[in-house]
């Protein structure tokens, strides 16, 4: 098998950027060029202000940018020079046409693939890094073979990425496993071995696993569906807790101690977000339907439905605490990113909550430590869905810090579990003193000490715990 000397990564996003940065850092003898059609994004990668925020990423980029790591918009040159190409473009849910709302939009994968076919003058290993439905590699192969110059060979590999935003660098440095799918032909296996060598610079050989292409593609969808299912399961149980006086943190602790279940991903919350879980499950649902497996489709679809229900249940709880009207009330939203340590807001539950509170006529102040103000406006004015910016700004403002957001508010809502919102960091007594009374705080991420805040005078609504004084007599707790 060949030794890879030049790598091109198409797509400088949340996955392509960090992944190929680590590959460059760990393989100083390989030239890695990350390309994108988005000039602003490439400019940001070449500046001190990287387009994505991940703990530890700045240092790694600085250590190899300009040495063997390059960011460029010259897609064609990078394709031409490379012997291995990662396709790491976005695969959002289709918004129109066949499979709208479920199927993955493979338009970006297709156009990147066509570009490779057109430009290539030498053999290439093409690696599917984007999350795609099972059997996409086959389609890429058709496109490559139908459009390329005679005599050029393409080997297609599936190498799904399992990093989580917020911990991308440490996930990449210490992955649980690296998955490489290939055809079982001689050249397929050789291509897989070449890619395995790239990872072997820092990942133990027994953690680099190879399998057939379709298993590899499906494993990525399966892993996300199983993870999201745990969240929806614990969130479904949180509703039972709120109605009975059981405490979801005690329940998940008790269940998590069972080694067959384990403690991870059992934290109840206002709902999961992020660009992947919903999209990948819907993708799996669509795949099941196309395979005429309606029961399988319905089973996985319920994981997404439960998440929608959880967000709606939480915002309804806020509204009912104010005797069913929050018209004109001021609500402080702490956190807009879909989880802590990332500036990514894709599918963030905060967007759903803010939109719901807006339709109820509330005034909303948002604070997030990392999300750009411009991004919040984009998310709240999604074309065709929400009102235009001037309408939104009649009800929504963005605060410079948590204290400003909470000033004169009726309710504070924790939407993202940023450490700086913990009651050991933020001065909730000060916040309480500047709020309207009764002062409510709703903890959508289980980061606050309920008793402590109640002692300050707050009315506290926590996911997975009954509101004190309402459904459960005090002495039951």
Alpha-carbon distance 41 to 366, whole Å?
25
By CB under 6 A, name the one of 21, 27, 91, 93 that touches ligand NAI. Answer: 91
Q: Which two tokens stand for residue 263?
A: 């403690």
Region binding ligand NAI by CB under 6 A among candidate stretches 87-95, 172-180, 193-201, 404-412: 87-95
Residue 45 binds ligand NAI (CB under 6 A): no
445 annotated to a ligand binding site: yes
Distance (Å, whole) CA 58 – CA 63: 9
Tell me which of 8, 9, 64, 276 is the catalytic residue. Answer: 276
What span, in angstroms and rounded, lies between the C-alpha atoms of 176 and 315?
36
Of residues 14 and 428, the one with the C-beta less far from ligand NAI: 14
> Which pair of structure tokens corresponds to residue 78?
């990078």
Burial per residue of 345-371, b for 16 or more beta-carbon CB atoms within 10 angstroms, e otherwise: bbbbbbbbbbbbbbebebbbbbbbbbb
Which residue in 60, 106, 112, 117 binds ligand NAI (CB under 6 A)?
A: 112
Q: Is 13 in the site for ligand NAI (CB under 6 A)?
A: yes
Q: What is the dihedral of CA 377, 382, 386, 391, to 10 degrees?
A: 30
Give dist(CA 122, CA 155) in Å, integer. Answer: 12
- Closest C-alpha to 149, from 125, 126, 129, 124: 124
218 touches ligand NAI by CB under 6 A: no
Q: What is the dihedral of CA 426, 428, 432, 435, to 10 degrees?
A: 30
CA dihedral 127→205→224→27, nearest 10 degrees, is -50
User: Locate tokens 């943190």: which residue?
Assistant: 249
Active site residue 255: no
What is the distance in angstroms between the CA of the first residue and the CA of the last residue of the chain? 65
Closest distance of CB 359 from ligand NAI, Å? 29
Shortest Cβ contact with ligand NAI: which residue?
A: 13
The CA angle 399-403-404, to the nearest 5 degrees, is 35
Q: In angstroms, what is the minimal distance from the CB of 91 to ligand NAI?
A: 4
What is the smallest separation between the CB atom of 306 and ligand NAI, expressed in angstroms?
21
User: What residues from 131 to 190 belong to the interface with ligand NAI (CB under 6 A)?
Assistant: 131, 161, 163, 165
Per CB under 6 A, does 379 bind ligand NAI? no
Q: Check binding of 41 to ligand NAI (CB under 6 A).
A: yes
Is 14 a binder of ligand NAI (CB under 6 A)? yes
β-partners of residue 35 are 10, 72
Q: Which CB sits closer to ligand NAI, 10 or 466?
A: 10
- To the nearest whole angstrom, how small is the minimum distance from the Cβ of residue 376 to ligand NAI? 18
The three-class DSSP label of residue 442 is strand
Q: Residue 142 Cβ, how far from ligand NAI at the closest point, in Å?
A: 18
Q: Which of residues 260-289 bind ligand NAI (CB under 6 A)?
A: 275-276
Asked if 111 touches ligand NAI (CB under 6 A), the answer is: yes
- Rounded least distance, CB 15 to ligand NAI, Å: 4
| Residue 65 burial class via C-beta count within 10 angstroms: exposed 0-12, middle 13-18, buried 19 and up | middle
How many chain residues bind ligand NAI (CB under 6 A)?
27
268 is in an annotated binding site: yes
Q: Which residues are annotated as a binding site?
A: 11-16, 36, 41, 89-93, 130-131, 161-165, 220-224, 260, 267-273, 276-279, 338-339, 346, 445
Annotated binding-site members for substrate: 161-165, 220-224, 260, 267-273, 338-339, 445
Catalytically annotated residues? 276
Name the residues that contact ligand NAI, by CB under 6 A.
10-16, 35-38, 41, 75, 88-91, 108, 111-112, 130-131, 161, 163, 165, 275-276
Residues comprising the binding site for NAD(+)? 11-16, 36, 41, 89-93, 130-131, 165, 276-279, 346
């Amino acid at each position: 098998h060949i030794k890879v000397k030049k790598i091109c990564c198409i797509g400088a996003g949340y996955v392509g950027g960090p992944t190929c940065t680590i590959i460059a850092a760990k393989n100083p003898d390989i030239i890695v060029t990350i390309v994108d059609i988005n000039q602003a994004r490439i400019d940001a990668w070449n500046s001190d202000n990287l387009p994505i925020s991940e703990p530890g990423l700045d240092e790694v980029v600085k250590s190899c940018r300009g040495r063997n790591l390059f960011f460029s918009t010259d897609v064609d040159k990078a394709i031409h020079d490379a012997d291995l190409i990662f396709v790491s473009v976005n695969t959002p849910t289709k918004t129109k046409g066949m499979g709208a709302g479920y199927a993955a939009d493979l338009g970006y994968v297709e156009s990147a693939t066509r570009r490779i076919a057109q430009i290539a003058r030498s053999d290439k290993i093409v690696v599917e890094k984007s999350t795609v439905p099972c059997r996409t590699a086959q389609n890429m192969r058709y496109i490559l073979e139908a459009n390329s110059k005679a005599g050029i060979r393409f080997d297609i590999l599936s190498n799904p990425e399992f990093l989580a935003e917020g911990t991308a660098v440490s996930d990449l440095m210490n992955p649980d496993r690296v998955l490489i799918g290939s055809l079982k032909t001689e050249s397929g296996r050789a291509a897989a071995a070449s890619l395995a060598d790239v990872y072997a610079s820092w990942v133990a050989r027994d953690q680099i696993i190879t399998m057939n292409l379709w298993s590899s593609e499906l494993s990525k969808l399966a892993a996300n569906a199983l993870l999201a299912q745990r969240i929806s399961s614990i969130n479904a149980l949180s509703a039972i807790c709120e109605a009975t006086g059981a405490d979801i943190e005690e329940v998940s602790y008790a269940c998590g101690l069972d080694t067959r279940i384990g403690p991870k991903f059992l934290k109840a919350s206002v709902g999961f977000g992020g660009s992947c879980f919903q999209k990948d499950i819907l993708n799996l649902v669509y795949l099941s339907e196309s395979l005429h497996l309606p029961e399988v489709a319905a089973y996985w679809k319920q994981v997404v439905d439960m998440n929608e229900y959880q967000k709606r249940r939480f915002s309804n709880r806020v509204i009912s605490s104010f005797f069913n009207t929050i018209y004109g009330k001021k609500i402080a939203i702490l956190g807009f990113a879909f989880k802590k340590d990332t500036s990514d807001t894709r599918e963030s539950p905060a967007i759903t909550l803010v939109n719901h509170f807006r339709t109820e006529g509330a005034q909303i102040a948002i604070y997030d430590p990392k999300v750009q103000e411009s991004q919040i406006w984009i998310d709240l004015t999604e074309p065709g869905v929400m009102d235009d910016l001037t309408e939104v700004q009649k009800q929504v403002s963005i605060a410079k810090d948590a204290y400003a957001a909470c000033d004169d508010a009726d309710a504070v809502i924790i939407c993202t579990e940023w450490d700086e919102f913990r009651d050991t960091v933020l001065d909730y007594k000060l916040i309480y003193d500047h709020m309207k009374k009764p002062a409510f705080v709703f903890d959508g991420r289980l980061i606050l000490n309920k008793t402590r805040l109640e002692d300050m005078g707050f009315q506290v609504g926590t996911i997975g715990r009954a509101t004190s004084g309402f459904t459960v007599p005090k002495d039951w707790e």
